[in-house]
């Protein structure tokens, strides 16, 4: 087997080796059943137990109150861009959206198909280099909810604190879920694609306050109603069995590491190491404004595109993969989700310092 590299991919992202080892065994033969996990009926008692474990671990780790449902859905986080307004808005209803990047932008476009949308803040003119402070926007008095993206994967910005509003919050938490403590009771709905902090791609987690399940208009198709999935414990149709199982294994690992407080501490330590390099040189320039910096995705530029290309190529040769920035802003991006090991960050920092010495601007 090839030597394991440090994988800075923005998603699907790196997973703990212990989890990968466990998964490989279970795919072949699961829990003395004589069959592999991905061959098993989703209605078997063994698989029902897998789903229950994943759900109860998520509830425990995020301290999800009892009046919230946890759903395991398909269609990616992108499908939530329309499912949210399709279920929570409707003719004459409105919502407030904060535009802090590509993913919020896409969510706004979809919401406009279903209701009135106010966008009191957008950092688009400054290439999404920051998130707003609470005094920079007003939530419309008639808004059903305030929508935001807690971590902007592409631009490397993150809300240091969740927005303040007396309206319920709806959040795309795809790229920082479980990396810091949050008060779920302030949210009407949280969603996250699994492929960054939760496991492999293929399943999207939705955490929804129960009373909202009743808001959907009759015209909404069955599969696109949250209530359909909530009523059937995410088993209305065949769920993404493998991904749900793998999320459960990542959550077991996360609990063993010390849960969300441990992840929060580790994320800060890892991110600080890289930001210190950015702050101590004019060679590396961070994209995000300091107060909006993400602890999950660190975006930066070198003095020229040629140096950036050389940086990425040499890093790859040294086993530091996935550092190319998103095509919409270019440059470099180090994605360091929960499962990304600290040793990889140490190695990146050493590489950055050496590269600067060897390649003056």
Ligand X SMILES: Cc1ncc(COP(=O)(O)O)c(C=O)c1O
- The alpha-carbon radius of gyration of the chain (Å, integer) is 21
Stretch that binds ligand X, among 167-175, 256-264, 272-280, 310-318 (CB under 6 A): 167-175
Stretch that binds ligand X, among 34-42, 170-178, 266-274, 281-289 (CB under 6 A): 170-178
Q: Which of 118, 144, 172, 249 binds ligand X (CB under 6 A)?
A: 172
Q: Under 8 Å CB-to-CB from 277, ≥6 apart: which residues?
A: 284, 349, 352, 353
Residue 26 touching ligand X (CB under 6 A)? no
User: What's the min distance (Å) between Cβ of 175 and ligand X?
Assistant: 4
Q: Calculate the CA 184 to chain-centre distance.
A: 16
Give the Å distances, CA to CA, from 216 to 33, 118, 168, 221: 41, 21, 17, 10
Looking at residues 146 to 165 of the shown chain, list those that interact with ligand X (rule: CB under 6 A): 149, 153
Residue 78 touching ligand X (CB under 6 A)? yes
Q: Which of 8, 11, 30, 355 binds ligand X (CB under 6 A)?
A: 11
User: What's the min distance (Å) between Cβ of 346 and ligand X?
Assistant: 26
Number of residues that bind ligand X (CB under 6 A): 11
Instruction: Report d(CA 62, CA 236) in Å as an integer.
Output: 25
Give the Å distances, CA to CA, from 269 to 263, 264, 273: 10, 9, 6
Q: Which is nearer to ligand X, 11 or 248 (CB)?
A: 11
36: phi then psi, degrees, rounded to nearest 5 = -80, 155
Per-residue string for binding with ligand X, 116-145, x by CB under 6 A? Answer: ------------------------------
Instruction: Please identify every residue annotated as catalytic.
Output: 103, 172, 196
Instruction: Report d(CA 350, CA 6) in Å as an integer.
Output: 14
Q: Which residues bind ligand X (CB under 6 A)?
A: 11, 76-78, 103, 149, 153, 172, 174-175, 193
């Amino acid at each position: 087997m090839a030597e394991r590299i440090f994988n800075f991919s923005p998603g699907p992202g790196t997973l703990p080796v212990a989890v990968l080892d466990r998964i490989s065994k279970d795919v072949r033969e699961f829990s003395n059943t004589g069959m592999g996990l991905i061959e098993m009926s989703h209605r078997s008692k063994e698989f029902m137990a897998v789903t229950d474990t994943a759900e109860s671990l998520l509830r425990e780790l995020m301290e999800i109150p009892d009046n919230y449902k946890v759903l395991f859905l398909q269609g990616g986080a992108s499908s939530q861009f329309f499912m949210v307004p399709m279920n929570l808005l409707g003719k004459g209803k409105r919502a407030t959206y904060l535009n802090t990047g590509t993913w919020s932008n896409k969510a706004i476009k979809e919401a406009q198909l279903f209701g009135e949308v106010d966008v009191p803040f957008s950092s688009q003119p400054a290439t999404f280099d920051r998130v707003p402070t609470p005094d920079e926007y007003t939530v419309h008095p008639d808004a059903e909810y305030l929508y935001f993206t807690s971590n902007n994967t592409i631009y490397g910005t993150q809300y240091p604190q969740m927005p303040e509003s007396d309206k319920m919050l709806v959040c795309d938490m795809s790229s920082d879920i479980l990396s810091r403590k949050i008060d779920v009771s302030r949210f009407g709905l949280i969603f996250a694609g699994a492929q960054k902090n939760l496991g492999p791609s293929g399943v999207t987690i939705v955490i929804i306050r129960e009373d909202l399940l009743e808001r959907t208009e009759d015209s909404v198709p069955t599969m696109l109603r949250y209530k359909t999935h909530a009523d059937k414990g995410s088993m209305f149709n065949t769920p993404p069995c493998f991904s749900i199982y793998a999320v459960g294994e990542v959550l077991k690992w996360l609990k063993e590491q010390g849960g969300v407080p441990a992840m929060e501490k580790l994320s800060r330590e890892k991110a600080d190491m890289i930001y210190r390099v950015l702050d101590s040189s004019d060679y590396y320039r961070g994209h995000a404004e300091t107060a909006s910096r993400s602890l999950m995705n660190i975006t930066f530029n070198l003095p020229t595109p040629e140096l950036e290309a050389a940086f990425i190529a040499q890093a790859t040769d040294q086993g530091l993969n996935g550092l190319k920035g998103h095509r919409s802003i270019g440059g470099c991006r180090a994605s360091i989700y929960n499962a990304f090991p600290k040793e990889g960050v140490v190695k990146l920092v050493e590489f950055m310092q050496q590269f600067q010495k060897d390649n003056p601007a």
